Amino acid sequence: MLTFNSKTYGELLAYYQPKAITTEVENERVIAIAQELEHRSELSLEEEALLELLISLIERFEADNYPIPDRNPLATLQHLIEANEIEYPELITILGSPDAVEQIINGQRSINQSEARSLGAYFRVDASLFT
């Protein structure tokens, strides 16, 4: 049975000096350390504890600095249309009719389940992004 060695953990903490992340540079540094640990074939208990701490610090920084906006299916669709340079005729092919495209794009109606599946398949994303 493996036991946690506080001295070894203390040495890891002294070496890496983890602290609350306040800048993007610090975040990138901590991400690099976490990735290096994750790519090791085996971690000691102390390294696992350090990795958990680093992940917590990263998650906290990113939650504070990169909040996820409320999900908006129309905004998601508009973003994907722009990012992929989709033209109107292609949207008609995906959604099935010009009326459907106009009503959805103009916010007159929501995307139905069938359309969400078609959009998800086309853009290779989860269909739930559109509902």
Reported as a single tens digit per residue, the pLDDT across 8-24 is 999 999 999 999 999 99
Which residue in the block uniquely carries the two structure tokens 């033209």? 87
Cβ neighbours of 116 (radius 10 Å)? 19
Which residues neighbour 27 within 8 Å (Cβ) at sequence distance 6 or greater?
A: 21, 58, 61, 62
Reported as a single tens digit per residue, the pLDDT across 86-130 is 999 999 999 999 999 999 999 999 999 999 999 999 988 889 889
Eight-class DSSP state of 128: G
CA–CA separation, 2 vs 74, rounded Å?
Answer: 52
Q: Which CATH superfamily is domain 73-130 in?
A: lambda repressor-like DNA-binding domains (1.10.260.40)
Strands (E) across the chain are located at none
Burial class (CB in 10 A: 0-12, 13-18, 19+), 44: middle
